[in-house]
Amino acid sequence: MAHYQGTHRPSHHLTRRSFFTAGAAGLAATSLSACSGTSGTDTSAPPCPDLTRPTSLDDAAWAHVRAQFILEPGTAYMNNASLGMPPASVAEAVAAGYDALSREPLKGKTALGRAIAGRVVPGLASLFGAEPAEIVLTRNATEALHMGAVGVRLQPGDEVLMTTQEHPAGSRPWDYRATHHGVKVSKVFIPSPFETGEEVVRLVEEALTPATRVIAFCHVTRGGHLYPVRQLCALARERGIVSHVDGAQAVGMFPVDLHDLGCDTYSASLHKWLLGPMGTGVFYVRADARDRVESAFAFDATPEAPAYQPPGTTGLPVQAALSASLDFVETVGIDNIAARTRHLSDYLKARLAEMPGATILSGPTPATSCPGSTIFELEGVDAVEAVTLIAERAGIHIDEHQRDGHNAIRISTHVYNTTAEIDRVTEALDGLRSIPS
């Protein structure tokens, strides 16, 4: 039996069969029927085009990237910020992992464990500018954010400062600590959109008190606002405060270097922009912050053996399949992914700017808005209703953003989207306004 390969290879070569065929030749010979980018069940489909790094930002240069996805024809997916749409290679890798477990449970488990330790964790560490020992796999960002929050040593009366733009996944763990441990939770109002990162740093700094022990904030908010993370972490460090960052909407969308950002903890989803399988997230604690952020689980943990890992049996096949997501991101290039998602959201913003009654609520510059998510309001359109209507009438998946005082629509554009799909969604949205309710 071929064992699970822990090395980098083109993503679309990992299939169920790859576990049980001999060596690299067997791996290279397998192809995905779904690679035609159509139904995924058509065995006569042409072989998947090789995944290579695109050389320009145009749709044509990304057609072979789009072909790695098996979305139903006619459907447009622009809600990656909620739930990522993994390429076929990732779906195949999950299936391959379960196949291995079902055929030979103990060998399969060992092989998956090796792939996670030998490829996934080092690959994530390298992508995120961290050491492998600082990377812990979780089920999602919410779990990681909770682990970070309950791990910080706090006394009753100690204060945690968060922003008004935190996702419930980021705020609820601190509410838990307020209820059970007498911690005081304060919120600093951040406007949506904000004009500059300096404005955010100033607002946070003004909200600090002598009792502040933690600052909790997003790298990118649910609405796509990009925070000045490095500056906020520097401010926290100057004051001896723990910086606790929610990166659910950041990793996989643009380069993230955790050591450079200087945060104490960082929590992220891997199923969103990194295109990993559902049930994957990451928790990072900077090595020299281990004395301040303890394990949420192990009573006998030490900074040398911090034991952050959630205990018990875990989803090895989904975690191991992250190797296919990493292959995808490494082959296409994270800088290229950022440029393409930005290119598409710029195109969307240009189309919205032509629409009467449209107000773009994303930050005004690339320094304040992330590449992939755009929020906007449309006069006369209820955002929640629009999401359902656009799905039903046009087969396009978008989302609403009913936060920060907005009745906004959120469109998230990943590398697989096209300008034609953006034309389609803006036309469909425009059409909503002419329909009497």
Ligand X SMILES: Cc1ncc(COP(=O)(O)O)c(C=O)c1O
Binding site for ligand X (CB under 6 A): 82, 140-142, 167, 169-170, 218, 221-222, 246, 248-249, 269, 281
Alpha carbons 83 and 208: distance in angstroms, whole number? 34
Alpha carbons 170 and 191: distance in angstroms, whole number? 18
Distances (CA, A) of 325 to 36, 252, 273, 285, 342: 19, 9, 10, 23, 20
Beta strand segments in 333-372, E? 358-360
Distance in Å, CB of 248 to ligand X, minimum: 3
The separation between CA 321 and the C-alpha centre of its own chain, rounded to angstroms, equals 16
Contacts of 56 (CB under 8 A, 6+ apart): none
Nearer to ligand X, 36 or 249 (CB): 249
Distance in Å, CB of 127 to ligand X, minimum: 17
Distance in Å, CB of 150 to ligand X, minimum: 16
In single-letter form, the type of residue at position 435 comes to I
Tokens of 22: 């001999």
Nearer to ligand X, 281 or 315 (CB): 281
SS3 60: helix
Nearer to ligand X, 65 or 285 (CB): 285
Alpha carbons 312 and 373: distance in angstroms, whole number? 35
Nearer to ligand X, 54 or 281 (CB): 281
How many CB atoms sit inside 10 A of residue 32's CB? 22
Nearer to ligand X, 48 or 251 (CB): 251
Alpha carbons 410 and 127: distance in angstroms, whole number? 27
Nearer to ligand X, 73 or 168 (CB): 168
Distance in Å, CB of 195 to ligand X, minimum: 21
**DSSP code, position 119:** I
Nearer to ligand X, 119 or 222 (CB): 222
Query: Do the beta carbons of residue 252 and residue 274 sit within 8 Å?
Result: yes
Among left, alpha and beta (phi > 0; psi -120 to 50; other), residue 415 is: alpha
Distance in Å, CB of 269 to ligand X, minimum: 3
Nearer to ligand X, 53 or 189 (CB): 189
Alpha helices in 16-87, H assignment, sequence order:
23-29, 63-66
Distance in Å, CB of 20 to ligand X, minimum: 32
Alpha carbons 150 and 147: distance in angstroms, whole number? 5
In single-letter form, the type of residue at position 149 comes to A
Distance in Å, CB of 141 to ligand X, minimum: 4
Distance in Å, CB of 387 to ligand X, minimum: 15
Nearer to ligand X, 19 or 308 (CB): 308
Nearer to ligand X, 148 or 306 (CB): 148
Query: Do the beta carbons of residue 173 and residue 145 sit within 8 Å?
Result: yes
Distance in Å, CB of 219 to ligand X, minimum: 8
The separation between CA 156 and the C-alpha centre of its own chain, rounded to angstroms, equals 33
Distance in Å, CB of 209 to ligand X, minimum: 25
User: What radius of gyration do the chain's Cα atoms show?
Assistant: 22
Tally DSSP H helices, then E strands, for the chain.
Answer: 15, 13
